[in-house]
Amino acid sequence: MFDKILIANRGEIACRVIRTCRHLGIQTVAVYSEVDAGAQHVRQADCAYPIGGPRPQDSYLRGDAIIEAAQKSGAQAIHPGYGFLSENADFAERCAKAGIVFIGPSAESMRKMGSKAGAKELMAAHGVPVVPGYTGENQDAALLAREARRIGYPLMIKAAHGGGGKGMRIVREADEFAANLESCQREAKNAFGRERVLLERYIETPRHIEFQIFGDAHGNIVHLNERECSAQRRYQKVLEETPSPFLTPELRTKMGEAAVAAGRALGYANAGTVEFIVGPNAERSGGDFYFMEINTRLQVEHPVTEMTLHLDLVELQLRVAAGEALPGSLLRNKSVPQDGHAIELRLYAEDPQAGFLPGSGKLQRLRLPAPSPHVRVDAGVVEGDTVTIFYDPMIAKLIVWDRTRADALLRMREALAQCDVIGPKSNIDFLERLVRHPAVVEGRIDTSYLDGCLDEFLPGEGKNADPAMLFAAATAWLLHEETQVRDAAMASSDPHSPWARADAFRPGHTGKRIVVLDHTAIHAFGNAGNYALNCGELTYQIEGAVLHDGILSARFDGISQRFGVTVGNDRIVVHTNAGRREFAHTPPFAYARVNSESSDVVRAPMPGRIVVVKVKVGDTVAAGQELLVMEAMKMELSLKAPQTTTVASLHAQAGEFVEADAVLARFSSDHP
């Protein structure tokens, strides 16, 4: 076994690898970019080396700097995590030449299957069903357009060396192909260092099933059961689980055998994942599944496999890389018996109601559920850390386990209820709606469902109209205010202090008060947990209200109710079994600034880098025309003209970094 390894990654996966190494007594070396100097993976490792600037191209994609750090530190091996250089055959080969073990498959295997295009060709040659498409190396735009017409629409453009939902586009019409190709290639180059793409027919309403495989250098290979990843938004997995509620035992056997056969054909060693796209008739026919790609690395969703098989896949990776054989307990069976059901969700800094725009900023408050035999949290940040614009905005992965799928869903709801994020916006509310949605609860969601029915998972007009939650929030804020006043009075020893007065200055008196939540005024009379609340035509009588340890209990119009509540930072989160609702608290006489600029400017929706500027001053642009393209959080954002107008001035150029809300373009006040 190794004495010291370097982890060529960051965030939660680096912290997760460090955890296993610490258990095995292996020293760890981290690497970090300029903005990650204080990151958790740097703090948790035994030592860490700087490797460059904040952009991945200047740091985590610099194989030379990483190998140099490994040599300086005396690391015997490099664990690549996932993303960055994890599926880069050239990097694996350079590690071998430098006398450093790459903890993953060989460069030869990666070249055969690390490329989506090469993997499809190889699988087809070995009789594994593949989706019709084009996987050639010729990337001439005209040729790709001809191949697209041959394949037929709708089709998918995919980064040949990508993963994690990046560098993928669905194209439904021929006239949309060129723009999507350009954007996909650019995103692929920025995220993975290579712009090669492949084309394949897009299968409507499919399921996404992947099989974890593991091989060693002694010719052994097994599969460790499947994971279903059909809940996706823009090809980014949202919920992963095992076992799949969709597969029959017969279909599971066929797909597992195909996954192992693919690995054996390659002499595969270490961890890998064979991904299949499964048609809607597969459950009945026992077929209709197609090879999609092979990921030559550990997957983001590997914890659900670990939770149901009671294995440490990182430990297996390390032992196999050190030359050990797979344990006999795995080799005695064609598949490994599963124990219970596990589900994983990813908590992100993003705004679902703004098109899931990635967020950034300091995590002023971060509350996650306590780990237990039923709950696991994999995180790369803690309260006080900053989510930067340069990398994936994941805050944490929540993984739950229980005996049945229904119980695991209940565990996940409980875990989400214990989460709270203040700072950048998060997707907690979206995730809570997701795990309660009938399509998820009934196990019938497909890969296109979320994108097609997204409004079912987001709050909208009338969806949060329950007055009980509004009045519970008002009650919680009143109790919160009274506690603050009481504490201030107790802290003051001056009898003449205004905090000691009992007149109208003190907000705890029985006179009228106004609580403004989400721009809605609630009029309140009373104190000490007994209030008459009025909002428009609605009136509630609150009696015996107590707020303790995040629980509000009170009698609402004589009916006793209980709510989970978080109060502070001018916000109140109210939680019930049906989900959560967050209210913004505003002082009753706060000044509301009106944006007088209307649509005469285009602003940066978040911090990021300008990739391309497509117009110049004086151009007349049509409503919806693309003006600029931004890159942030490893994704591209297209900024378009709000109306038909003339470009009066431009305030950004390609390659420039801009802050959130910065004016990028102004338009003439005299519109055509």
DSSP 605: S
Q: Which pair of structure tokens corresponds to residue 208?
A: 């996404």
Please determine, for residue 465, whether its predicted confidence score (pLDDT) is greater than 50: yes
Nearest in space to 63 (alpha carbons), one of 34, 29, 98: 98
E strands present in 120-264: 133-134, 155-159, 168-171, 197-201, 207-215, 221-233, 236-242
Average the pLDDT over each of 111-120, 164-173, 636-645 and give the range with the smallest value. 111-120
Please determine, for residue 285, whether its predicted confidence score (pLDDT) is greater than 80: no
Query: Domains of the chain (ranges plus CATH)?
Result: 4-103 (3.40.50.20), 132-201 (3.30.1490.20), 208-229+247-457 (3.30.470.20), 467-586 (3.30.700.30), 601-667 (2.40.50.100)
Nearest in space to 99 (alpha carbons), one of 72, 79, 76: 76
Active-site annotation holder among 297, 319, 346, 581: 297
Please determine, for residue 332, whether its predicted confidence score (pLDDT) is greater than 90: no
Most confident of 197-206, 407-416, 470-479, 525-534: 407-416
DSSP 462-505: TTT--HHHHHHHHHHHHHHHHHHHHHHHHH---TTSGGG--STT
Mean pLDDT across the chain: 89
Confidence grade of residue 508 (pLDDT, cut at 50, 70, 90)? very low
Nearest in space to 581 (alpha carbons), one of 437, 476, 480: 476
Output 332 or 450, whichever has higher pLDDT: 450
Q: Which pair of structure tokens corresponds to residue 243?
A: 């076992």
Q: Which pair of structure tokens corresponds to residue 50?
A: 């700087």
DSSP 640: E
Phi and psi for 562 in degrees, rounded to 5?
-135, 130
Predicted local distance difference test score (pLDDT) of residue 287: 67
Please determine, for residue 114, whether its predicted confidence score (pLDDT) is greater than 70: no
Please determine, for residue 670, whether its predicted confidence score (pLDDT) is greater than 70: no
Nearest in space to 385 (alpha carbons), one of 36, 29, 663: 36
State pTM to two decimals: 0.81
Predicted local distance difference test score (pLDDT) of residue 489: 65
Taking a C-beta distance cutoff of 8 angstroms, is the pair 194, 232 a contact? no
Average the pLDDT over each of 218-227, 453-462, 636-645 and give the range with the smallest value. 453-462
Please determine, for residue 397, whether its predicted confidence score (pLDDT) is greater than 60: yes
Q: Which pair of structure tokens corresponds to residue 643?
A: 């109306």
Phi and psi for 470 in degrees, rounded to 5?
-65, -45
Nearest in space to 103 (alpha carbons), one of 331, 275, 297, 274: 297
Predicted local distance difference test score (pLDDT) of residue 6: 98
- Between CA 19 and CA 384 the distance in angstroms is 21
* 134-137, long-range: CB < 8 A, 24+ apart: 134/198, 134/199, 134/200, 135/160, 135/198, 137/196
Taking a C-beta distance cutoff of 8 angstroms, is the pair 580, 563 a contact? no
> Mean pLDDT throughout 169-189?
93
> Is 94 marked active-site?
no
Predicted local distance difference test score (pLDDT) of residue 491: 64
Instruction: Please identify which residue in the block is written with the tokens 């069903």.
Output: 129
Please determine, for residue 156, whether its predicted confidence score (pLDDT) is greater than 90: yes
Taking a C-beta distance cutoff of 8 angstroms, is the pair 402, 341 a contact? yes
Q: Quick one: what percent of the chain has pLDDT higher than 70?
A: 90
Query: pLDDT tens across 53-110, in order?
Result: 999 999 999 999 999 999 999 999 999 999 999 999 999 999 999 999 999 999 998 8
Kindly give the pairing relationship between strand 270-278 and strand 289-295.
antiparallel
Question: Helices (H), strands (E): how many in the chain?
Answer: 18, 39
Please determine, for residue 250, whether its predicted confidence score (pLDDT) is greater than 80: yes
